[in-house]
Amino acid sequence: MEYNPIYLDIVWVLFATALVFLMQAGFAMLEAGATRAKNAANIIMKNVMDVSIGSLVFWMVGFGFMFGANKSGWIGTSNFFLSDIDPATDSGMFDFAFFIFQTVFAATAATIISGAVSERTKFAAYLIYTVAVTAFIYPIFGSWVWGGGWLSELGDNGFMDFAGSTVVHSVGGWAALAGAIVVGPRLGKYTAGKSPVAIPGHSITLAALGVFILWFGWFGFNAGSTVSGNTGLIAIIAVTTNLAAAAGGVAALTLSYLLWKRFDASMTLNGVIGGLVAITAGTANMSPAMAALTGLIGGMVVVGAIVLLDRKLKVDDPVGAIAVHGFAGAWGTIAVGLFASATYGGVDGLFFGGGVGQLLVQLTGVAAAFLFVFSTSFIVFKVIDMTIGMRASDEDQIRGLDISEHQAAGYPDFAPAIPLVSYSTPVLSGAAVPSGAAIDETIES
Amino acid sequence: MEYNPIYLDIVWVLFATALVFLMQAGFAMLEAGATRAKNAANIIMKNVMDVSIGSLVFWMVGFGFMFGANKSGWIGTSNFFLSDIDPATDSGMFDFAFFIFQTVFAATAATIISGAVSERTKFAAYLIYTVAVTAFIYPIFGSWVWGGGWLSELGDNGFMDFAGSTVVHSVGGWAALAGAIVVGPRLGKYTAGKSPVAIPGHSITLAALGVFILWFGWFGFNAGSTVSGNTGLIAIIAVTTNLAAAAGGVAALTLSYLLWKRFDASMTLNGVIGGLVAITAGTANMSPAMAALTGLIGGMVVVGAIVLLDRKLKVDDPVGAIAVHGFAGAWGTIAVGLFASATYGGVDGLFFGGGVGQLLVQLTGVAAAFLFVFSTSFIVFKVIDMTIGMRASDEDQIRGLDISEHQAAGYPDFAPAIPLVSYSTPVLSGAAVPSGAAIDETIES
Amino acid sequence: MEYNPIYLDIVWVLFATALVFLMQAGFAMLEAGATRAKNAANIIMKNVMDVSIGSLVFWMVGFGFMFGANKSGWIGTSNFFLSDIDPATDSGMFDFAFFIFQTVFAATAATIISGAVSERTKFAAYLIYTVAVTAFIYPIFGSWVWGGGWLSELGDNGFMDFAGSTVVHSVGGWAALAGAIVVGPRLGKYTAGKSPVAIPGHSITLAALGVFILWFGWFGFNAGSTVSGNTGLIAIIAVTTNLAAAAGGVAALTLSYLLWKRFDASMTLNGVIGGLVAITAGTANMSPAMAALTGLIGGMVVVGAIVLLDRKLKVDDPVGAIAVHGFAGAWGTIAVGLFASATYGGVDGLFFGGGVGQLLVQLTGVAAAFLFVFSTSFIVFKVIDMTIGMRASDEDQIRGLDISEHQAAGYPDFAPAIPLVSYSTPVLSGAAVPSGAAIDETIES
């Protein structure tokens, strides 16, 4: 039998697809663990449904908008329902593999949002937004970068975002920002004249499990983005990915210890993800040392952005998704313009003698993502809010969305914690499953 | 080095094996999450032991019965203990890979049963049945389809069940049906003149985690069934598998909302699995659109079958395994006769101009699986019941099997929920870890 | 395109790397599940940080010590920071793949220790030890076996430890033993004149999830150790790995039933891991039957060693890591000298006519591992203890390390179990999250 490299390519892409798919479980566990028990069923239902709806919608139209024939440079216009793929050929089969890999990417972008709007968003509203992001917002921006659109033509090398720090993560993060603003903070989170209330998640073990699963999935997310197994590039990608994650965790732990004199668990977990998000753009184009540095700074960006959002901007993001995916994604994309090295790919960044050219392209792409995604998402969320309504009622938030939306309790066999008498938000103390002792004041000034 | 395709085949099969193996974790989490906290140790012990015992027994005899030399068309009769495999050759090594892949399939069939008989079955009885199913029942039926037996010779193309909607899932489902009937419903489930009591599971997050892991594993389950990496077929399989799962989830969510005006979490989770089970037979032989349709109907079949079993037939299946694996598996196998397309494989189904020939073959296989597996399993369970006894005593059910069988509490650090005064089954209110507020009336007429 | 086997090798190694990485999640869930809720955040933080710190330190120096140029036979002295790897070549890319695979191995050795010292070790002390083990202790011993050092030259075939029963698992286990001795038992574990108190873990489902994930990861751990996909050897490795795990579980279940008349869940889970640890050395060099036997004895070794450590030696190991990794690892390494077969690799063991030569080499390696690792680890732990201190105060142990180290509660939404009046250790009854009913007297004489 003669060697046909396409089979190893397909095997590799499907391996990576499976890993990226499992990131849905990672997000579900991280988001559920980082929020309250009374909303656990709601969170996991959002995660299950965004990958379900996203898979269908991306097949119907999203993939065509993103990777279809793109004359304008602004949107693809063919291959809806995979109509252009010929199943009788090996290259058609590769196209199917490419499609399923892109599907799980789209689902990742969608699921990032669920955490940021959790604990107070109506389920139906979330489902509608999921359609919007996987059918239009994500694919259209994606077409600009990966579908041969205008950002891919910018400068000498085009906008460089190898595996999606911006295309997937910042897109998810900025959409999450719009959603969190439109839906508003959770009941009891901010009270005029008082410090923001830290509302601890209900299971640190599930949150940690989620992070480990995400880290695992990221090997597929980044190394799979070669969409080829016939390249040694996948090895350096695995190395840079892992080092950045490790450095992000160490940075967030260290910084939180310096700031608050404790080994903060939720910051550390978010720091790991921040490192992973940050390296995603430059994973194939940096030395291991620069990857570690990118992740290190990524972890610090996450801590800083969480404090900024939670304390200063008063944007309530229960799981830190905006900081992790939006901010660290932007940082990582910019880092390509600073730390990329021709030794590890096609371009030298500013610190390796490449000048500011690529850096400006990177900044342009980062800005374009923010402007396009935040504005379109804001409009979509506003329209949803003005029609069916985004926000669950105060009463439903107190009872928990599990009961109001799903008529189910997530943990009926366990007694809820008894609210402390001194608990700082009286509104919450009437909750069916209150968050108990507010020991974990995650953010303190 | 010249290209030897067998190495990529082995790599692919082992990749798929690992994914299918992890489905054991998926089943364990789904089943544990969907049942009560007081039986959690018992459930996970059943899952650990069925893969352990199943692996040993399938190696000793099951694999030989299923894939050994099969002159009669009814059972294989060689290769026990892998005695025919030559470790000195590459093809022998491929045989080892094939064997381990089939081992995790057999373990999947076995573990399906544990959920349906959970919360009231003696541990020793379950272990004995596990030997029966992995040594005889699963391998013998499997030999008819995948071991060159009579069903593989039926009609023009033989009975088509690419990855086991019937061979694995319906076999597990019908065995589960027999077990659930013989062991009877859980204490307090059915009371004459009253509606069946919905007994909610103790952790929606673990149940959801289980579903995500199963979905992940299914990429290996279906695409691994090519037992070759040198084929583009694995790509279309990944596409059809994912679309069917997504459609199954959407269908079950929608149907449950139409029926009961809530976004039912357990129905949606089971709908996803139903979509996956349904596509398993035709995963390599359908267009993406037909795969989505197969999964969509699969999700609806699951909802309908759960209502049928729980309300009308009064068969108590705590996790919905019979509906998901038995009914959706049968549906998916029939769907091949309707929706298969020669463009995507070797035969046209009824709706693609192929006539009723294949459909009749499919129906024959479905019927054969039910008749053989239900009857033999029923006999085995009855014999176990008449000798050592299947059913845990009322007292043990009230205390929970964790204490009666394992002398351990699954969650000793958490206070059990306080039973509501108005709780509808007084018997249960004395439980060590009662199921608390019966908020999740999963099935309502 | 001509066939270049290095790409399939890299794909295989990265696949295996991802699986081994996920073992971190397995260890985290197993260790958290097997300990008390009040220390859950602390346990997962240890697991997150040992892989983070380990990844960075192993990149900086550990990999160089283990696999760098090794003239003395005692330590490598080059390739720090991967300085010798050329990213411009395919073989350099393979080296990156080899490095990342070895990184996750080093992280595995490190994380084994966290369970044995859990619930009473200061977080900072643990972090410092993690640096020591991943920078020096693990790499130096590893260089003797896998880095071309003196153990690899011993006898006719060198010390045989294919995937690390000794190099990874016993190293982790003996370091854990040193740590458990230096830090001392948990408060309330041993009281003069009384039986040791069994302190049950807080979540049997998470512990079981951990075991399933570890079993899954072991397919990568063992079969990845070929560091090549162009070999059928990976198939027999998958078979022997799975059979040994299965046999280990069955053996531990059976033995615990014979000893204590119950189907002990924690023993069974540890028995599975014991079977896996035991087969790791000989996984590529044994028949399936001998692999099953090795795992069977491995499961029994685990039960025996847990009883020995807990009852006789009074070494408090909350998760059984010393028994599982230290003792079963030693057993499995010795088993190569007994059960290896030239039919399945390069040497015959004692029972296959090969004489005692290899057995003596194996015993030498086992002894060297114990002497080197236990003594160096003991010194490191003692130095840490005499400087910053290893042991959390009694008060911190009672409150739980989550509060004292991380100022967070792992499960703030759930009410802690009410301590039984008759609870045998009065000290513990004041715990914020007490371990409740001591139903699971894991070890009884």
> What pLDDT is stored for residue C419 in this prediction?
54
Do C205 and B32 make contact, defined as CB atoms within 8 angstroms?
A: yes
**Which pLDDT tens digit goes with each residue over A109-121?**
999 999 999 999 9
Alpha-carbon span A310 to C122, nearest angstrom: 30
Alpha-carbon span C268 to C245, nearest angstrom: 11
**A345 confidence band (pLDDT: 50, 70, 90):** confident
B139–chain C nearest CA distance, Å: 18
Higher local confidence (pLDDT), B194 or B317:
B317
Mean pLDDT for all residues in chain B:
93
Do C209 and B29 make contact, defined as CB atoms within 8 angstroms?
A: yes
**Which pLDDT tens digit goes with each residue over A142-159?**
999 999 999 999 999 999
Would the pLDDT of A428 be above 50?
A: no
Interface size between A and B, measured as CB pairs under 8 A: 209
**Which pLDDT tens digit goes with each residue over B208-220?**
999 999 999 999 9
Do A232 and C414 make contact, defined as CB atoms within 8 angstroms?
A: no
CB A243 within 8 A of CB C83: no
B199–chain C nearest CA distance, Å: 19
**Which pLDDT tens digit goes with each residue over A180-199?**
999 999 999 999 889 999 99
Would the pLDDT of A23 be above 80?
A: yes
Would the pLDDT of B375 be above 90?
A: yes
Mean pLDDT in residue range B431-440: 34
- Domain extent listing, chain A: 6-387
Would the pLDDT of C433 be above 80?
A: no
**Which pLDDT tens digit goes with each residue over C286-315?**
999 999 999 999 999 999 999 999 999 999
**C345 confidence band (pLDDT: 50, 70, 90):** confident
Q: Which of B256, C53, C115, B72 is nearest to A408 (CA)?
A: B256
ipTM over 0.85: yes
CATH number of A6-387: 1.10.3430.10
Do B235 and A10 make contact, defined as CB atoms within 8 angstroms?
A: yes
Alpha-carbon span B330 to B167, nearest angstrom: 10
Do B414 and C202 make contact, defined as CB atoms within 8 angstroms?
A: yes
Alpha-carbon span C160 to C183, nearest angstrom: 33
In sequence order, what DSSP letters do the residues of A34-77 get, joined into one string?
Answer: TS-GGGHHHHHHHHHHHHHHHHHHIIIIIHHHHHS--SSSS---
> What pLDDT is stored for residue C441 in this prediction?
37
> What pLDDT is stored for residue A240 in this prediction?
98
B310–chain A nearest CA distance, Å: 18
Nearest to C97 among A238, A249, A434 (CB): A238
Would the pLDDT of B15 be above 60?
A: yes
A431–chain C nearest CA distance, Å: 11
Least confident of A190-194, A199-203, A440-444, C339-343: A440-444
Nearest to A203 among C3, C403, C411 (CB): C411
Q: Which of B380, B366, B384 is nearest to B169 (CA)?
A: B366
Alpha-carbon span C396 to C121, nearest angstrom: 10
**B346 confidence band (pLDDT: 50, 70, 90):** confident
Residues in chain C within 8 Å Cβ distance of B128: none
Do A3 and C1 make contact, defined as CB atoms within 8 angstroms?
A: yes
A104–chain B nearest CA distance, Å: 10
Report the share of chain A in percent with pLDDT over 90. 92
C336–chain A nearest CA distance, Å: 32
Do C53 and A438 make contact, defined as CB atoms within 8 angstroms?
A: no
Conformation bin of residue C118: beta by default, left when phi > 0, alpha when psi is -120 to 50? beta
Substitution target from C35, C197, C236, C442 for chain B, most B beta carbons within 10 A: C236
**Which pLDDT tens digit goes with each residue over A210-247?**
999 999 999 999 999 999 999 999 999 999 999 999 99
B418–chain A nearest CA distance, Å: 7
> What pLDDT is stored for residue A251 in this prediction?
98
Instruction: Read off the tokens for B114.
Output: 């544990």
Do C14 and A245 make contact, defined as CB atoms within 8 angstroms?
A: no
Would the pLDDT of C242 be above 80?
A: yes
Least confident of A1-5, A206-210, C198-202, C215-219: A1-5
Mean pLDDT for all residues in chain C:
93
> What pLDDT is stored for residue B419 in this prediction?
54
Nearest to B418 among A32, A92, A415 (CB): A415
CB B214 within 8 A of CB B271: no
Q: List Cβ neighbours of B256 (8 Å cut-off, separation of 6 or more).
A: B262, B263, B264, B267, B268, B303
> What pLDDT is stored for residue A419 in this prediction?
54
A411–chain C nearest CA distance, Å: 9
> What pLDDT is stored for residue C439 in this prediction?
32
Residues in chain C within 8 Å Cβ distance of A243: 55-56, 59
**Chain C: residue whose CA lies nearest to B43:** C205
**Chain A: residue whose CA lies nearest to B442:** A408
**Which pLDDT tens digit goes with each residue over C42-57?**
999 999 999 999 999 9
Report the share of chain B in percent with pLDDT over 90. 92
Would the pLDDT of C257 be above 80?
A: yes
Do A205 and C28 make contact, defined as CB atoms within 8 angstroms?
A: yes
Would the pLDDT of B42 be above 70?
A: yes
Do A25 and B220 make contact, defined as CB atoms within 8 angstroms?
A: no
> What pLDDT is stored for residue B149 in this prediction?
97
Residues in chain C within 8 Å Cβ distance of A260: 407
Alpha-carbon span A308 to C328, nearest angstrom: 50
**Chain C: residue whose CA lies nearest to B24:** C212
Do C53 and A250 make contact, defined as CB atoms within 8 angstroms?
A: yes
Q: Using H for helix, E for strand and C for coil, what is the string for C251-279?
A: HHHHHHHHHHCCCCHHHHHHHHHHHHHHH
Residues in chain A within 8 Å Cβ distance of C11: 8, 11-12, 15, 229, 234
In sequence order, what DSSP letters do the residues of B353-394 get, joined into one string?
Answer: T--SHHHHHHHHHHHHHIIIIIHHHHHHHHHHHHHT-SBPPH
**Which pLDDT tens digit goes with each residue over B275-316?**
999 999 999 999 999 999 999 999 999 999 999 999 999 999
> What pLDDT is stored for residue C427 in this prediction?
32
Residues in chain A within 8 Å Cβ distance of C55: 242-243, 245-246
**A1 confidence band (pLDDT: 50, 70, 90):** confident
**Which pLDDT tens digit goes with each residue over A257-287?**
999 999 999 999 999 999 999 999 999 999 9
Residues in chain A within 8 Å Cβ distance of C27: none
Instruction: Read off the tokens for A214.
Output: 């995400």
Interface size between A and C, measured as CB pairs under 8 A: 211
Q: ∠ at Cα A307 (A303, A309), nearest 5°?
A: 115
**Roughly how many angstroms between the first and final C-alpha of chain C, as a whole number?**
67
Do B204 and A402 make contact, defined as CB atoms within 8 angstroms?
A: yes
Higher local confidence (pLDDT), B426 or A331:
A331
Would the pLDDT of C140 be above 90?
A: yes
A185–chain C nearest CA distance, Å: 20
**DSSP tag of A370:** I
Would the pLDDT of A443 be above 70?
A: no
Would the pLDDT of B442 be above 70?
A: no
Mean pLDDT in residue range A158-174: 98
Q: Which of A443, A438, A444 is nearest to A199 (CA)?
A: A438
> What pLDDT is stored for residue A271 in this prediction?
98
Do C53 and A246 make contact, defined as CB atoms within 8 angstroms?
A: yes
> What pLDDT is stored for residue A346 in this prediction?
74
**Which pLDDT tens digit goes with each residue over B104-148?**
999 999 999 999 999 999 999 999 999 999 999 999 999 999 999
Residues in chain A within 8 Å Cβ distance of B439: 403, 407-409, 412
